Amino acid sequence: MIKLVTEPVLEVIVVSVSDAIEARKGGANRLEVVRDLDHGGFTPSLELVGAIKREVDLPLRVMLRESVGYQTNSEEEIESLCAAVEQFAQLGVDGVVIGFLKEDKIDLELTGRVLASAPGLKATFHHAFEDAHNKFTAVRDIKRLSQVDRILSSGGRGELQQRSERLAGYAEAAGPELKVIAGGGIDMEAISLLKRTTTIREFHVGRAARAGFRVDGTVDAELVRSLVLRTVQ
């Protein structure tokens, strides 16, 4: 039997054009564009995404999140998200990063409604996944969202080994329709362990790629380069 080899991907969170340029210099494979990283990331401006798209020839996934938390009953907020996803699609981004819950379950109706504004666009279901009560039910539900091709997860709380074991389970449940991106506290050690013990080959980094490993630091090309090397070793 021929075993398919999945090329590793390092996705770097960026909040500015300079962040994006540094990430590209370091060899990042994909960028997640956000605003307000210290609050978990909100929808960035159309102007910022357009500027990054002009300066950096990398796939961009753009955060769609208007407020703290993963639930909303605000029709104004929903309409704003629908307009944003349509505009980002017109810029030619690779996809968006999105996710809503209804109580502790995936809100298929709301997530699908927003994505329907740009039916050709792919999406990553973000850390709202972590707050779903039953993660395996959540995976099955997310598979019903045809535009979603990835789930971003940290593996939850606990030691790295525990998180790795959970991520391995999520990845097995998600395939073949979905890929799991390991993100949230991912660093050199985590990448090495996940490569040894799971099928996950996509890694999402924030602080690990930033000066001083601080959320308010700027992306550093040398740190990115070290992380990229770890994904391929």
145-190, pLDDT tens digit by residue? 999 999 999 999 999 999 999 999 999 999 999 999 999 999 999 9
**pLDDT of 70:** 75
Is 186 among the domain residues? yes
**pLDDT of 192:** 97
* Pairing outcome for strands 179-183 and 60-63: unpaired
203/1 Cα distance (integer angstroms): 27
Is 113 among the domain residues? yes
Is 3 among the domain residues? no
Is 140 among the domain residues? yes
Beta-strand ranges (E) seen in the chain are: 9-14, 30-33, 60-63, 95-98, 101-102, 105-106, 122-125, 148-153, 179-183, 202-205
Domain that holds residue 175: 9-232
CA 94 to each of CA 3, 53, 87, 184, 217: distance values in angstroms, whole numbers, following the listed order:
27, 10, 13, 21, 26
Instruction: Give me the helices (H) in 74-131, please.
Output: 75-91, 108-115
**pLDDT of 4:** 45
219-232, pLDDT tens digit by residue?
999 999 999 999 99
Rounded to two decimals, the pTM is 0.94
- CA dihedral of residues 133, 188, 180, 26 (deg, nearest 10): 130
Is 125 among the domain residues? yes
Is 2 among the domain residues? no
**pLDDT of 68:** 73
Both tokens assigned to 127: 């850390």
31-80, pLDDT tens digit by residue?
999 999 888 899 999 999 999 999 999 999 999 998 877 777 789 999 99
**pLDDT of 3:** 40
Where residue 2 falls among pLDDT bands split at 50, 70, 90? very low
Q: Quick check: 83 pLDDT over 50?
A: yes
Is 227 among the domain residues? yes
Q: How many domains does the chain have?
A: 1
Is 72 among the domain residues? yes
Check which CATH number belongs to the domain holding 209 and give it.
3.20.20.380
